[in-house]
Amino acid sequence: MEQLSIKSKYLVKTDNIGFLFPVVWSSIALIWGVLFHEVSGAIFISIISLFFVWLTYKLTSFVLSFQQHSGIVSNGHYDQAIKLLWFVSAFGFLVSIANAVLFQPEKHMYYQAVFSIVSFGFALASARKWGCHYVAK
C-alpha cells in the first residue's frame, strides 16, 4: 500500500485563499480600469477574467477527478502531476504579468495584466484535488 504524501504549504495556502484572490484581483482591476482606462472595457475584462478563472478551475477539477474514480496513473505520479500543474500555472501567471508590464504597448498592458489571473484557476484546482487518490475496492 502506498503512503500518502503530505500536502505542501503552497498548496495549502492556495487552497485557503481559494477564489478570494481572483475576486480581489478583478475588483482592483475594475476600479483601476474605471479610473484610468475605458469604463466598458474595464467592466468586461474584470468580469470575463473572473469567469475564466472559474471555468479553468471547473474543467481542471473535472479532468483531475478521473484519478479518484479510475486510478489512471499511480498515486505517486498523480501527486507529482498536481505539483507540476501548480508550478506551471504559477509560472504562467508570473510570465504573463511580466510580459504585460515589460513588452506590451500601454493600451494593451492593462488588459493583459488583468487577464493573467486566469492561470490561477489551474493552481486552485490542483490544490483542491490534492489527495484525491484512487483506492482499489
Measured CA to CA in angstroms, residue 38 lies from 60, 100, 115 at distances of: 32, 18, 16
Instruction: Please spell the DSSP secondary structure of 46-66, one letter per residue.
Output: HHHHHHHHHHHHHHHHHHHHH
In this predicted model, what pLDDT tens digit does every residue of 22-70 receive, in sequence order? 999 999 999 999 998 889 999 999 999 999 999 999 999 999 888 877 8
pLDDT at 135 over 90: no
* Contact of 122 with 85, CB cutoff 8 Å: yes
d(CA 116, CA 64): 22
CA 108, CA 130: separation in Å to the nearest integer? 36
pLDDT of res. 137? 66
First to last CA, the chain: 13
Residue 9 contacts residue 84 (beta carbons within 8 Å): no
